Chain A
Amino acid sequence: MNRQPRTLLTLLLIGAIVGTGYFIWRDLRAPLPGAPHSSRTTDVAPSRGGRLVSTLRSEPRSFNRLASANAVTELYSLLAQAKLVRINRATQELEPWLAEKWETSADGRAFTLTLRDGLTWSDGTPFSAEDVAFTFRAAYDPKAGIVLGPTLQVDGHPLAATVIDGRTVRVEFPASFGPGLRLLDNLPILPRHKLEGALAAGTFAQAWNAATPPSDLVGMGPFQLARYEPGQRLVFTRNPHYWRSAPDGTRLPYLDELVLEIVPDQNAELLRLQSGDADVMQSTVRAEDLASIRPLESQGKLQLLELGVSADPDVFFFNLRAPYWAKDPRRGWVTTRQWRQAISHAVDREALAESVYLGTAVPVWGPVSPGNREWFSPNVPRYPYSLETAAKLLASIGLENRDADEWLEDMSGTEARFTMLTYRGNLVLEREAAFLRDELNKVGIAVDVVALEANALVDRLVRGDFEAIFFQYLTSDLDPALSKDFWLSSGPAHIWNMSQDTPGTPWEAKIDELTRQQAAALDPAERRRLFAEMQRVFGENVPALYFVAPRLYAAASARVVNLTPAILRPQLLWAADTIAVKP
């Protein structure tokens, strides 16, 4: 090649690169496609029609809510099935749902529920009280492999459902239970005519799996599954037999179609929303993403919704099973209350909220965050940031710096060191764990942070094979009586020392007693008093440490109207029947 064509080729190449770069730069600065220019639309009256696209982080494992506690299955159930009563995720109040009203017996243990008249399943089959009785039978059938069974019991005993007539069911509790019918928010009513055969054949847990044709899935929710394209999306269409109407008489749901696009990566999920390919994000917005959403909010393209303080603060706890430490030289101090209190004093919660959550978190002192407005007690013991107090408490259990290094030692020379397990891949948790390690280093405590895959960590937790864990424990209901498995020493979610035969400490015995009284009490004021006392005893003994609770944010396209955000999952789609989009 002679010199002239080569120079020409080079110039053309440079021109092409510069030109492409210019067009990318120009388009990156241009308004987002798909996201319409408009003002905030939450005050626009909802109307019928349209399609809403939401992201979904993972595939459904099953469409059988009783057999799977998977979050996607739960979301499917919220969209396509219905319960007798519902907890309004925004107000936390119990609402009539398939049951339009109920009467409570004098002792508060029996409820006679009247079902709405004229209800039909999505396939047109009439709904009756027999379907309710069938669902209760399936939920408690020992052969059915029901994962929700234990959560639907009171003191280890099932509820009894008796059909009075076609529209009336009597539900009896085995013991007095403060939350009453709130327990039934967990129980979608299933069609007897579709699933009775599977229950009889002992294959109920396998029924309605991910391979089931959508036409076989029948429910009474606002939507019905029309299409499941594995790896891509779930497409829901309006259930023509849905019973609910808006206050102005418009038949619900407003939407013609609801699409859940499977987007496994959270960064890609955010980009889909920003580009207008999605209207709603399943995930809440991370603190570091707020900066990229706020400009779009001010331009009227997106809605950024502050939901409130999360009810699920991250939790840090030591293994308090005595046998685990029996042969460990640290046994003299690692399970003491002073050790945990010292750690609580050594962590600067404000700095943690600033550095990890960029200021979008609030300090917390116990398992109940201010986000749980009904049950939060502000009067729990607090451990303000003080390295001096932490050092004094550590000295009181014999931990001092006895050599030239930076770590504390006990009388036998054993270093104040422990291993903290946390979730791998959860960047916020990993950053928080690193922050805690650095904070504890300041008082001479060495922390080895080990990140594990989520189910490997839970496996270690369940087997009691850990020194300390820092993770997130999700709350499904804000009423403490529905979290008895956490509070009771015999509970499987009593994470620091699970499933004890008898309470290992006097304070756990005290909390057990208070928990039982609180769950059995019917008077709301008495229940609040007892729970405040539970939180106080918990706070004095700090079996688990809580540092901050993040403020939750959700984002949606400006074309979405009539959203009812809540702090519990799924924060926006829990009330999908009343969501609408601008025409």
Chain B
Amino acid sequence: MLTFCLRRILMAALLVLAVASGALVLTRLAPGDGIEEGHLLDPVARAAERARLGLDRPLAEQYVAWLAGAVRLDFGESVLYSRPVTHMVGERAVNTAILAVAALALATLLGIPLGVYTGTHASGIGAALARGASTLLLSIPPLVGALVLVLVAARTGWFPAGGMTSVGGSATWAAWVADVLSHLPVPALSLSLPLAATLERLQSQALAEAAREPFVDASRARGVPPRQVLARHAWPASLGPVLAVYGLMIGSLFSGSFVVEVITAWPGLGRLMFDALRARDLYLVAGTAAAGAACLAAGTLAADVVHARLDPRVRERHRP
């Protein structure tokens, strides 16, 4: 298992480097120059702005300078905000992580139990309702889902309609936590409802299939109570496909959802990357892409490790 983890960590480092390099080079080669002001047509003014944004330097020079810093985890300075990329990504990553943890917890708490329920109940109104709700949530684009939730929050006043903290600020640490928690429902639900639906569908299918496995039949034949058959045999065996997707979910959630962060004004990594791309802020694009790739790699690794812990067949496969 240790060798497996080390190999995956090495692959993850290469993935991060490749993604960040690709993001930097493609952003530089993309049409447009990041000058936001469409009316800024004067060549002298444009040249001054290009120089300020560092876009007048050769790509190779920029890439080599960036790479030299990146190996020391110094991703350079954002030309857009004149701040170290590492600090900015760190700040926004914390915000995104808060949202990601909440969304993941909600998605898990809703999706997995419902999936177990529908996977063990082929018929019945409850299962049909759950399946219908999942299908509905899966078919709603995140943009629409987020807007609907913002609308509900704005019209009902149940939760703040956007942002991460209140205007007035918080005097104490506890007040800040309470403030952030009060702002979480709308973005967290926007992210978690489609994920919960995905988990419910996956868990339901996987559990139905696992219930038909010979070793599950055997445990039933040995007289193991149905709940134990489900909890100790069928459910762990059904987790393979769920955890495979779970890893990707962790990665995508922790790298920030641009759509939900824009609609709900959550100051996370997704929005930062969008702004960086628009401004052709190369180092910031590379930094946010690296953070996203690292989250994705860490998420899939964590899912694989958990899967191995829960399913003895996986442990056997990785045993030297």
Q: Using Cβ atoms and an 8 Å threshold, which residues of chain A touch B92?
A: 231
CB < 8 Å neighbour of B162 from A30, A149, A268: A268
Closest to A454 in B: B38
Bound-complex Cα distance A50 to B161 (A): 22
CB < 8 Å neighbour of A277 from B51, B156, B160: B160
Q: Using Cβ atoms and an 8 Å threshold, which residues of chain A touch B46?
A: 462
Instruction: Determine the interface band of chain A, counting residues with CB < 8 A from chain B.
Output: 35 or more
CB pair B279–A462 under 8 Å, yes or no, is no
A-B contact pairs, 23 of them (CB 8 A): A10-B124, A10-B129, A17-B129, A27-B155, A27-B158, A53-B167, A61-B36, A70-B36, A205-B52, A231-B267, A233-B163, A261-B163, A261-B167, A264-B262, A268-B262, A271-B162, A274-B155, A277-B160, A454-B32, A455-B280, A458-B32, A462-B41, A474-B38
The interface-forming segment of A84-92, A206-214, A246-254 is A206-214
B271 at the interface (CB under 8 A from A): yes
A267 at the interface (CB under 8 A from B): yes
Q: Using Cβ atoms and an 8 Å threshold, which residues of chain B touch A147?
A: 40, 45, 48-49
CB pair A267–B38 under 8 Å, yes or no, is no
Q: Using Cβ atoms and an 8 Å threshold, which residues of chain A touch B38?
A: 454-455, 457-458, 471-474
Q: Using Cβ atoms and an 8 Å threshold, which residues of chain B touch A460?
A: 31
Of listed A33, A146, A205, A231, residue having the most chain B CB within 10 A = A231
CB pair B44–A150 under 8 Å, yes or no, is yes
Bound-complex Cα distance A226 to B125 (A): 57
CB of A490 to closest CB in B, whole Å: 12
Given contacts A6-B126, A53-B167, A456-B32, contact A61 B39 (CB under 8 A): no
* Contacts A277-B162, A459-B31, A473-B39 known; 11 new A-B pairs at CB < 8 A: A33-B156, A58-B275, A61-B36, A147-B49, A150-B42, A231-B95, A231-B272, A265-B265, A268-B263, A277-B160, A455-B38
From residue 155 to 179 of chain B, which have CB atoms closer than 8 A to chain A? Answer: 155-158, 160-165, 167, 169
CB of A257 to closest CB in B, whole Å: 9
CB < 8 Å neighbour of A272 from B35, B161, B280: B161
A509 at the interface (CB under 8 A from B): no
Bound-complex Cα distance A429 to B45 (A): 26
Return the 8 tightest CB-CB contacts between A and B, nearest first: A231-B267, A33-B157, A275-B154, A209-B82, A27-B156, A456-B32, A455-B32, A271-B154
CB of B292 to closest CB in A, whole Å: 17
A145 at the interface (CB under 8 A from B): yes
Closest to A30 in B: B156
* Binary contact track A450-472/B, C-beta < 8 Å → 1, others 0: 00111111111110000000011
Q: Using Cβ atoms and an 8 Å threshold, which residues of chain A touch B39?
A: 69, 473-474, 476, 493
A36 at the interface (CB under 8 A from B): no
B311 at the interface (CB under 8 A from A): no
CB pair B48–A206 under 8 Å, yes or no, is no
A541 at the interface (CB under 8 A from B): no
CB pair B126–A69 under 8 Å, yes or no, is no
From residue 62 to 114 of chain A, which have CB atoms closer than 8 A to chain B? Answer: 67-71
CB of B169 to closest CB in A, whole Å: 8
CB pair B262–A492 under 8 Å, yes or no, is no
CB of B124 to closest CB in A, whole Å: 6
Bound-complex Cα distance A212 to B272 (A): 19
Closest to B30 in A: A456
Bound-complex Cα distance A230 to B80 (A): 12
CB < 8 Å neighbour of A267 from B158, B167, B263, B266: B263
Closest to B274 in A: A264
CB pair B126–A13 under 8 Å, yes or no, is yes
CB pair B155–A455 under 8 Å, yes or no, is no
* Binary contact track B1-44/A, C-beta < 8 Å → 1, others 0: 00000000000000000000000000000111111111111111
Given contacts A259-B167, A456-B32, A459-B33, contact A268 B41 (CB under 8 A): no
B81 at the interface (CB under 8 A from A): yes
CB of B88 to closest CB in A, whole Å: 8
A34 at the interface (CB under 8 A from B): yes
Given contacts A33-B157, A232-B163, contact A211 B83 (CB under 8 A): yes
CB < 8 Å neighbour of B265 from A9, A148, A151, A264: A264
Q: Using Cβ atoms and an 8 Å threshold, which residues of chain A touch B30?
A: 456
A14 at the interface (CB under 8 A from B): yes
A514 at the interface (CB under 8 A from B): no
A307 at the interface (CB under 8 A from B): no
Closest to B152 in A: A24
CB < 8 Å neighbour of B279 from A53, A61, A275: A61
CB pair A145–B263 under 8 Å, yes or no, is no
A59 at the interface (CB under 8 A from B): yes
CB pair A453–B151 under 8 Å, yes or no, is no
B91 at the interface (CB under 8 A from A): yes
CB < 8 Å neighbour of A69 from B40, B156, B272, B279: B40
Given contacts A30-B156, A58-B275, contact A455 B33 (CB under 8 A): yes
* Binary contact track A523-558/B, C-beta < 8 Å → 1, others 0: 000000000000000000000000000000000000
CB < 8 Å neighbour of B35 from A17, A455, A499: A455
CB < 8 Å neighbour of A206 from B41, B52, B91, B125: B52
Given contacts A272-B162, A471-B38, contact A145 B48 (CB under 8 A): yes
B150 at the interface (CB under 8 A from A): yes
Given contacts A17-B129, A147-B40, A458-B41, contact A268 B32 (CB under 8 A): no
Given contacts A147-B45, A209-B81, A271-B150, contact A6 B36 (CB under 8 A): no
A485 at the interface (CB under 8 A from B): yes
B238 at the interface (CB under 8 A from A): no
A167 at the interface (CB under 8 A from B): no
Bound-complex Cα distance A399 to B107 (A): 62
CB of B161 to closest CB in A, whole Å: 5
Of listed A148, A232, A262, A498, residue having the most chain B CB within 10 A = A232
B288 at the interface (CB under 8 A from A): no
Bound-complex Cα distance A233 to B129 (A): 42
B264 at the interface (CB under 8 A from A): yes
CB of B195 to closest CB in A, whole Å: 20
CB < 8 Å neighbour of B43 from A14, A459, A499: A499
Bound-complex Cα distance A27 to B151 (A): 11
CB of B115 to closest CB in A, whole Å: 16
* Binary contact track A382-423/B, C-beta < 8 Å → 1, others 0: 000000000000000000000000000000000000000000
CB pair B161–A277 under 8 Å, yes or no, is yes
A28 at the interface (CB under 8 A from B): yes
* Binary contact track A219-263/B, C-beta < 8 Å → 1, others 0: 000000001011111010000000000000000000000010111
Closest to A148 in B: B45
A330 at the interface (CB under 8 A from B): no
Of listed B157, B263, B268, residue having the most chain A CB within 10 A = B157
A351 at the interface (CB under 8 A from B): no
CB pair B129–A261 under 8 Å, yes or no, is no
Q: Using Cβ atoms and an 8 Å threshold, which residues of chain B touch A149?
A: 44-45, 48
Bound-complex Cα distance A69 to B35 (A): 10
A582 at the interface (CB under 8 A from B): no
A51 at the interface (CB under 8 A from B): yes
B308 at the interface (CB under 8 A from A): no
Bound-complex Cα distance A263 to B147 (A): 13
Bound-complex Cα distance A372 to B293 (A): 51
CB of B239 to closest CB in A, whole Å: 23
Bound-complex Cα distance A476 to B280 (A): 25
Bound-complex Cα distance A10 to B128 (A): 10
CB < 8 Å neighbour of A262 from B129, B150, B265: B265
